[in-house]
Chain A
Amino acid sequence: MAVASARIKSVASAQSPFLSTLMFAPAALYILLLVGGPFLLAIFYAFSDARIGNTELHFVGLENFRSILQSPSFRLAIRNSFIFTIGSQIVVIVGANILAIALENAFRGRGLVRFLILLPWVAPISLGAIGWKWLLDSIYSVISWVLVALHFYKPFNAPMWLGEPRLAIASVLLVHSWRIIPFSTVILLAGRTAIPKDIPEAAAVDGAGFWRTQLQIVIPMMRPILSVAVLFGLIFTFTDMTVVYILTAGGPFDSTQTLPSLAFALGIQGSDLAAGAAISLFLVPLLVVLAYFMLRVARRSEVN
Chain B
Amino acid sequence: MAVVETRNLTKVFKEGQLGAVNNVNFQTREGEFLVFLGPSGSGKTTLLRMIAGLEMPTSGDILIGGQVVNNLSPRERRIAMVFQSYALYPHLSVYKNIAFPLKAQKVPKDQHRKKVEWAAGLLGIGALLERKPRELSGGERQRVALARAIVREPAVFLLDEPLSNLDAKLRASAREELERFHRSVGTTSIYVTHDQIEAMAMGDRILVLNKGVVHQLGTPTDVYDNPADTFVATFLGSPPMNLAELSDVIVGFRPEHFLPSVDLTGETVPLRFKVENTEYLGSEWIVSGTLVGGKLDSKKVVSRLTAAQHLQLDSVYDFGVSTRTLKFFDRASRKQIAPKGVTWQ
A: which residues have CB within 8 A of B?
196, 198-199, 201-209, 212, 216-217, 220-221, 223, 304
Closest to A221 in B: B91
Chain A residues positioned under 8 Å from B100 (CB to CB) = 203, 206, 208, 216
- Let me know if B152 and A217 touch, CB within 8 A: no
- Let me know if A196 and B73 touch, CB within 8 A: no
- Let me know if A198 and B91 touch, CB within 8 A: no
Classify the interface of chain A: helix, strand, loop or mixed. helix
Give the CA-CA distance A259 to B90 in the complex, in Å.
41
Given contacts A207-B152, A217-B89, A304-B134, contact A202 B83 (CB under 8 A): yes
- Let me know if A207 and B101 touch, CB within 8 A: yes
14 A/B residue pairs, CB under 8 Å, sorted by A: A196-B85, A198-B83, A198-B85, A198-B87, A199-B89, A201-B83, A204-B54, A204-B74, A204-B75, A205-B53, A205-B79, A207-B75, A208-B100, A221-B89
Closest to B79 in A: A205
A214 to chain B, nearest CB (A): 13
Q: Does B105 contact A (CB under 8 A)?
A: yes
Encoded as 1 (CB less than 8 Å from any A CB) or 0, chain B from 143 to 161 comes to 0000010001000000000
User: A201-B87, A206-B75 provided; 12 other pairs, C-beta below 8 A?
Assistant: A198-B85, A198-B87, A199-B89, A201-B83, A202-B81, A202-B87, A205-B81, A206-B101, A206-B148, A207-B101, A209-B104, A304-B134
Chain B residues positioned under 8 Å from A217 (CB to CB) = 89
A244 to chain B, nearest CB (A): 39
The residue among A203, A207, A209, A212 with the most chain B CB atoms within 10 A of its own CB is A207
Given contacts A198-B83, A201-B83, contact A207 B104 (CB under 8 A): yes
B59 to chain A, nearest CB (A): 23
- Let me know if A203 and B104 touch, CB within 8 A: yes
Give the CA-CA distance A198 to B159 in the complex, in Å.
13
A274 to chain B, nearest CB (A): 49
Give the CA-CA distance A304 to B132 in the complex, in Å.
12
Chain A residues positioned under 8 Å from B80 (CB to CB) = 205
Q: Does B52 contact A (CB under 8 A)?
A: yes
Chain A residues positioned under 8 Å from B87 (CB to CB) = 196, 198-199, 201-202
Encoded as 1 (CB less than 8 Å from any A CB) or 0, chain B from 61 to 103 comes to 0000000000001110001110111010111000000001101
Give the CA-CA distance A25 to B91 in the complex, in Å.
41
Give the CA-CA distance A217 to B84 in the complex, in Å.
19
The residue among A202, A204, A208 with the most chain B CB atoms within 10 A of its own CB is A202
Give the CA-CA distance A233 to B81 in the complex, in Å.
40
B147 to chain A, nearest CB (A): 12
Chain A residues positioned under 8 Å from B81 (CB to CB) = 201-202, 205
Chain A residues positioned under 8 Å from B53 (CB to CB) = 204-205
